[in-house]
Amino acid sequence: MSLRFPYTAIKIQKAAWTLGGRQDRPYPILLAGVIGPTRTFPVEGLLDTGSDDTVFPERVAARIGVDLTHAPTGGASGVGGGTALLRYAEVVLRLSDGREHRQWTARVGFTSAPLKRPLFGFAGFLQYFTASFHGDREEVELTINRLYQGT
């Protein structure tokens, strides 16, 4: 079985010429639970095939009880070319489309850099799924692959 998620239409200020004048843009935004030592915190993030890592704001780490004091570090860069510091930790991610449920341990990054929304990237997220993006239906379908070791 697979998990299916409809895209979320986000209103835009100027009509999107590339989308025939639409007043919104569709995004694969998913709601996931991020589970740490002290609690679970819900996060809406963008499923991003161009993101190397799964990245959350540092405040999420604080809310779920993850101590980043001695965490391994790395960097991330985006469209603007600047580099943001990431501090890595293991968390448990929980995902459901209302029919199917998945939960797995993931190595993710936390950053103090401003994020428009958290990113569900390759490491920690997409590496465990085969993703099918259905543009005509504005829906993404996630099917677990052989790397998935969750429940």
Q: Note whether 80 and 68 are within 8 A (CB).
A: no
Mean pLDDT of the chain: 96
In tens, the pLDDT along 77-103 reads 876 677 899 999 999 999 999 999 999
**Chain segment 100-144, per-residue pLDDT in tens:** 999 999 999 999 999 999 999 999 999 999 999 999 999 999 999
Encoded tokens for 111: 């950053």
Contact 28, 45 (CB under 8 A): no
Report helix, strand or coil for 59. helix
pLDDT at 25: 98
CATH 1.20.1260.10 fits 3-144, yes or no: no
Query: How is the chain split into domains, by residue range?
Result: 3-144
pLDDT average, residue stretch 48-60: 97
pTM, 2 dp: 0.94
